[in-house]
Amino acid sequence: MLGFLSNGLPIYPMPDSVRVFAPATVANLVCGFDVLGLAVERPGDEVRMTRRAAPGVRVTRITGDDGRLPLAAERNTVSASVQMLLRHLGRDADFGVDIELHKQMPIGSGLGSSAASTVAGLWAINELLGRPLTPLELLPFAMQGEELACGTGHADNVAPALLGGVVLIRSYAPLEVVRLPAPPLHCAIVYPHVEVATRDARQLIRRTVPLHDAVTQWGNVAGLVSGLFLNDIGLIGRSMQDVLVEPVRAMLIPDFYRLRELAMHAGAVGFGISGSGPSVFAFAPDEATAAAITEQLQRHLAGLGVGSEGYVSAVNQQGPRVID
């Protein structure tokens, strides 16, 4: 920080170039379909953004996407959301940037791949502009990026990616997010190499549900939130049950219930689908247990002939970070 403006706002340095990491996220956190999300330390995506003389937003390079993401600025969610932000601030006519996106996580994995990219881009442009917006004020732009990427502007990936920790989206209209205490747990994450498009995964879900199951679900949502505030690991674990959405989405994941058994037997606090899948995740009391769970799940998938990627990560506490 360089000091304060006359209105009390701090003055931050405005670099010409910045590199930002934004975390992967576990949305639809078990019982908290559409309302609870969690940020993890890894994997995540990186954006390098460099100011240039001419106005306009360009994507100059994308790595790690196997050529699947568009370079065209209006179709790429990173550049499109950066453009929206510049327009909102009235800077689109005088401010130009080049963007490099370095995907360090799989696309279509249920780990908030597009959210991580979008959030990294928004965090980077906000840095280059001297932080005119708070992380919470970046959220609507990130949601518009999600809408472009997934067809729906859900917040349960972008909100935890921006804010870190566990985030509750209490309401969409009006938008209200609440940062919940992040548990002192480690995450075992496994992405089986089967593809599930978010749009398709959503269409599987029933439009109406039995009230009895909905009551069970919000009892568990309330239990999970209470467990986070009370730092009660047992209560968190017992509340990690989804009676409504998981039974449908589990069909898309190879041997889902056996994976759960293996994880719980290896010491998991709880287990569930990440986002709309196919990634699965488990909470574990420590890093060694998380590593053992990841390894067992990957080995079981390999036995089924399904390749996978595995991650072991703490809960991300801070959201994105500037790397240099």
- The three-point CA angle 185-225-27 to 5° equals 70
Rounded to a whole number of angstroms, the CA Rg of the chain reads 20
Neighbours of 130 (CB within 10 A): 15
How many of the chain's residues bind a second copy (CB under 8 A)? Answer: 39
- Restricting to residues 153-172, name those near a second copy by CB under 8 A: 168-171
Q: Does 150 bind a second copy (CB under 8 A)?
A: no
Q: Could you say which of 211, 303, 305, 324 contacts a second copy (CB under 8 A)?
A: 211
- Restricting to residues 18-47, name those near a second copy by CB under 8 A: 31-36
Question: Smallest distance from the beta carbon of 160 to a second copy, in angstroms?
Answer: 14
Q: Could you say which of 3, 207, 303, 305 contacts a second copy (CB under 8 A)?
A: 207
Neighbours of 194 (CB within 10 A): 16
Task: Give the pair of three-digit tokens for residue 282.
Answer: 């488990």
Question: What is the C-alpha separation between 224 and 39, in angstroms, rounded?
Answer: 16
Query: Per the residue annotation, which of 41, 46, 127, 146 is the catalytic one?
Result: 146
Give which of 161, 93, 91, 172 is closest to 125, Cα–Cα.
Answer: 91
Q: Does 182 bind a second copy (CB under 8 A)?
A: no
Q: Does 265 bind a second copy (CB under 8 A)?
A: no
Nearer to a second copy (CB atom), residue 244 or residue 314: 244
Question: Smallest distance from the beta carbon of 219 to a second copy, in angstroms?
Answer: 4
Question: What is the C-alpha separation between 178 and 31, in angstroms, rounded?
Answer: 17
Catalytic, 118? Answer: no
Q: Could you say which of 197, 214, 288, 323 contacts a second copy (CB under 8 A)?
A: 214
Nearer to a second copy (CB atom), residue 174 or residue 305: 174
Decide: helix, strand or coil at residue 104: coil
Catalytic, 147? Answer: no
Which segment (98-106, 134-142, 203-211, 312-320) binds a second copy by CB under 8 A? 203-211
Question: What is the C-alpha separation between 315 and 57, in angstroms, rounded?
Answer: 32
Task: Give the pair of three-digit tokens for residue 193.
Answer: 């190499």
- Alpha carbon separation from 279 to 135, 190, 191, 209, 262 (Å, rounded): 27, 6, 4, 24, 15
Q: Does 180 bind a second copy (CB under 8 A)?
A: yes
Q: Could you say which of 14, 197, 209, 302 contacts a second copy (CB under 8 A)?
A: 209
Question: What is the C-alpha separation between 99 and 103, in angstroms, rounded?
Answer: 13
Peptide bond into 70 cis (omega under 30): no
Q: What's the gap between Cα 123 and its chain centre?
A: 14
Q: Could you say which of 56, 238, 267, 285 contacts a second copy (CB under 8 A)?
A: 238
For the annotated catalytic residues, the residue numbers are 146, 198
**Binding region for a second copy (CB under 8 A):** 31-36, 168-171, 176, 178, 180, 205-212, 214-223, 225-226, 229-230, 235, 238-239, 244
